[in-house]
């Protein structure tokens, strides 16, 4: 059952999602029309006024006096005052004031944003305005939360999109504590940091722990994105062991880790094998970046938890142009990985003839042995093209092909169209829009529950801390003050 959203949040959400966008789309045409109406009413009203007084005035005099209504220079006249002129005397100055306020806001945008933020409470702070930051900001705003974005680049084209959606944007570097102070960190309810660099996000976490005021009394939930998978896992474990109270709740997350979990469970082939009692299961993973690496580890985790008693291993064919180097690094960081799975390593280019022949999909008898294919590299067009090639090679729609996509639109919408021919030709193609599936309000709120099981995580990568690369060690040292080893 979904949590009930307070009526104030629902009303705010209705305003920002329905009323305000419609107003912004028609604002200036409406103002232009009202301006012409004020001029017309003023002209007609002055003509009638001077007729009633018996004065002979030219049309140009009446038009000039109508223009002066906008600056409050011609509206003070003796009766009789026709109704048309009465309306124009009120409408014209109101339009002039509105235009002046809009001009001032446009010129003093940053100062206006800071003024609006000064009085906000129980709000959401989003650090970093990339595609992920924008997605999270819009997700919270759609649910009626007040959102403040802190962005360093004042030329970021996404700033205007945020402001049009009613999301406050402050220009500042989150590495500077003053930036989060201006965003009223002490009065906020949620903090989401999705900056490009792990060191920057770690600094935001440090500032969250050091925050005082209302956050200490009410409890601030801080969601910190860490790009490096191994570092994210270490920080998550360290926070669980070092947290002493509930004043600030830190949650470290990685969208690639979440995306791998979604792709793995999109078609539950591991669960089907568990219930059916099948022996060797064969998965094919194409692309060993962060997403592919996380998918292999999570698949091994789940297989080991279900099959540690019978000793059977999961067979995983991994394909990447630098597969040998990446798998060797994976073995170092996860020394017990191959106790759960048999890795078949193929160093192939996606555009190579060997890949398109798809011999890795079949066993020695020429039968398709793959239970599922995961395309994990970052290139929407080539992902779809390779999926169609592999489906053609298998000659069947029975083997699911799970594709990594950026958004749940575009090519994904085309593949998931309701047309009979399209559905028939892509029944086994499953597209996962990572941005739309991982950067959501629900994903953040369920972050603790979605974290990998401690037992499996400890088992498959128990030596990860000793095997961090130099860059990871430097990043870990940057947050040593946040999570001291002494507890």
Whether the per-residue pLDDT at 10 is higher than 80: the answer is no
Report the pLDDT value the prediction gives residue 99, as an integer from 0 to 100.
86
Q: State residue 308's pLDDT score.
A: 82
- Mapped onto helix, strand or coil, the DSSP state of residue 482 is coil
The answer to whether the CB of 317 falls within 8 A of the CB of 344 is yes
Distance of CA 231 to the CA centre of its chain: 21
Radius of gyration of the chain (CA): 30
What are the backbone angles phi and psi of residue 372, rounded to the nearest 5°?
-160, 150
Distance of CA 60 to the CA centre of its chain: 58
Give residue-wise pLDDT tens across range 61-83: 889 889 989 888 877 777 888 89
Instruction: Note the pLDDT tens digit of each residue in 155-167.
Output: 999 998 888 788 8
Angle made by CA atoms 212, 214, 217, in degrees to the nearest 5: 90
CB atoms within 10 A of CB 160: 11
> pLDDT digits over 187-238, tens only?
899 999 999 999 999 999 999 888 755 444 457 899 999 998 888 888 888 7
Structural tokens at position 298 = 């999570």
pLDDT (0 to 100) of residue 100: 86
Name the token pair of 6: 């307070």
Note the pLDDT of residue 407: 84
Q: How far apart are CA 141 and CA 148, in angstroms?
A: 10
Q: Which among 350-354, 406-410, 452-456 has the top mean pLDDT?
A: 350-354
What confidence score (pLDDT) does residue 463 get? 44
For residue 71, CA distances in Å to 65, 80, 93, 115, 141 come to: 10, 22, 7, 28, 39
Question: What is the structure's pLDDT at 7?
Answer: 60
Instruction: Report the pLDDT value the prediction gives residue 464, as an integer from 0 to 100.
Output: 40
Q: Is the pLDDT confidence value at 273 over 90?
A: no
In this prediction the pTM is 0.71
259-441+463-467 domain in CATH 1.10.260.40?
Answer: no
pLDDT tens string 293-327: 999 999 999 998 888 888 889 999 999 999 999 99
What is the predicted pLDDT for the residue at 472?
A: 42
Burial of 76 (C-beta count, 10 Å sphere; 0-12/13-18/19+): exposed
Confidence label for 417 from pLDDT (cuts 50, 70 and 90):
low
pLDDT band at residue 28, thresholds of 50, 70 and 90? confident
- Of 281, 287, 248, residue with least CA distance to 267: 281
Q: Is it the case that residue 283 has pLDDT exceeding 90?
A: yes
Alpha carbon distance 112, 116 (integer Å): 6
What is the average per-residue pLDDT within 229-248? Answer: 74
Average pLDDT over residues 397-409: 87
H-helix or E-strand spanning residue 51: helix 20-53
| Cα-based distances in Å from 157 to 125, 150, 153 | 19, 14, 9
Q: Tell whether the model's pLDDT for residue 404 goes beyond 80.
A: yes
Closest C-alpha among 188, 154, 148 to residue 171: 154
Q: Where are the alpha helices (DSSP H) in 211-320?
A: 214-218, 229-242, 255-266, 269-276, 290-307
Range among 421-425, 468-472, 480-484 with highest mean pLDDT value: 421-425
pLDDT tens per residue across span 128-140: 999 999 999 999 9
What is the bridge-based pairing of β-strands 190-193 and 168-171? unpaired
Least Cα distance to 189 among 216, 220, 210, 148 occurs for: 220
Tell me the pairing of strands 314-320 and 429-433. unpaired
Looking at residue 360, its pLDDT comes to 94
Q: Provide the pLDDT confidence category of residue 443 given band limits of 50, 70 and 90.
A: confident
Candidate CATH numbers 3.40.50.1220, 3.60.21.10, 3.90.110.10, 3.40.50.720; the one for domain 111-225 = 3.40.50.720
Q: For all residues of the chain together, what is the average pLDDT?
A: 81
Percent of the chain with pLDDT over 70: 77
Which residues are within 8 A (CB) of 223 and not within 5 positions of it... i.e. 6 or more apart? 190, 191, 192, 193, 251, 253, 444, 447
User: Boundaries of CATH 3.40.50.720 in the chain?
Assistant: 111-225, 259-441+463-467
- Is residue 449's pLDDT more than 70? no
């Amino acid at each position: 059952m979904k949590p009930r959203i307070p009526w104030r949040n629902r009303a705010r959400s209705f305003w920002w999602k329905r009323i305000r966008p419609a107003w912004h789309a028609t604002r200036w045409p409406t103002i232009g029309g009202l301006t012409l109406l004020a001029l017309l009413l003023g002209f007609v009203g002055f003509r009638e006024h001077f007729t009633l007084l018996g004065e002979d005035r030219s049309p140009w005099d009446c038009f000039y006096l109508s223009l002066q209504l906008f600056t409050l220079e011609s509206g003070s006249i003796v009766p009789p005052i026709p109704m048309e002129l009465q309306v124009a005397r009120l409408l014209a100055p109101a339009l002039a004031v509105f235009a002046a306020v809009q001009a001032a806001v446009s010129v003093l945008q940053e100062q206006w944003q800071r003024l609006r933020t000064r009085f906000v409470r129980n709000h959401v702070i989003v650090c970093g305005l990339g595609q992920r930051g924008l997605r999270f900001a819009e997700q919270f705003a759609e649910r009626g939360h007040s959102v403040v974005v802190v962005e360093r680049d004042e030329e970021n084209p996404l700033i205007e999109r945020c402001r049009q959606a009613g999301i406050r944007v402050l220009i500042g570097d989150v590495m500077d504590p003053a930036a989060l102070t201006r965003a009223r960190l002490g009065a906020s309810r949620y903090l989401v940091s999705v900056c490009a660099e792990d060191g920057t996000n770690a600094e935001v976490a440090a500032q969250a722990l050091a925050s005082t005021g209302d956050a200490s009394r009410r409890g601030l939930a801080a969601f910190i994105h860490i790009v490096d998978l191994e570092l994210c896992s270490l920080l998550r474990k360290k926070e669980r062991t070092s947290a002493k109270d509930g004043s600030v709740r830190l949650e470290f997350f990685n969208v690639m880790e979440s995306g791998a979990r979604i792709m793995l469970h999109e078609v539950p082939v591991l669960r089907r094998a568990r219930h059916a009692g099948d022996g060797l299961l064969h998965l094919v993973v194409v692309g060993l970046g962060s997403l592919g690496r996380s998918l292999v580890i999570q698949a091994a985790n789940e297989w080991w938890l279900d099959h540690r008693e019978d000793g059977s291993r999961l067979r995983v064919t991994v394909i990447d142009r630098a597969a040998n180097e990446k798998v060797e690094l994976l073995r170092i960081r996860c020394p017990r990985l191959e106790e759960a799975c048999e890795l078949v390593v193929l160093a192939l280019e996606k555009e190579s003839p060997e890949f398109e022949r798809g011999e890795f999909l079949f066993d020695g008898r020429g039968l398709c042995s793959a239970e599922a294919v995961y395309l994990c590299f970052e290139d929407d067009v080539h992902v779809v093209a390779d999926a169609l090639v592999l489906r053609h090679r298998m000659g069947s729609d029975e083997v699911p092909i799970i594709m990594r996509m950026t958004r749940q639109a575009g090519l994904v919408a085309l593949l998931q169209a309701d047309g009979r021919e399209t559905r028939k030709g892509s029944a086994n193609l499953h597209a996962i829009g990572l941005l739309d599936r991982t950067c959501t309000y629900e994903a953040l709120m369920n972050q603790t529950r979605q974290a990998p099981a401690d037992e499996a995580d400890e088992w498959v990568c128990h030596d990860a801390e000793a095997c961090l690369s130099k860059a990871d060690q430097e990043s870990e040292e940057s947050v040593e003050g946040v999570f001291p080893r002494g507890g």
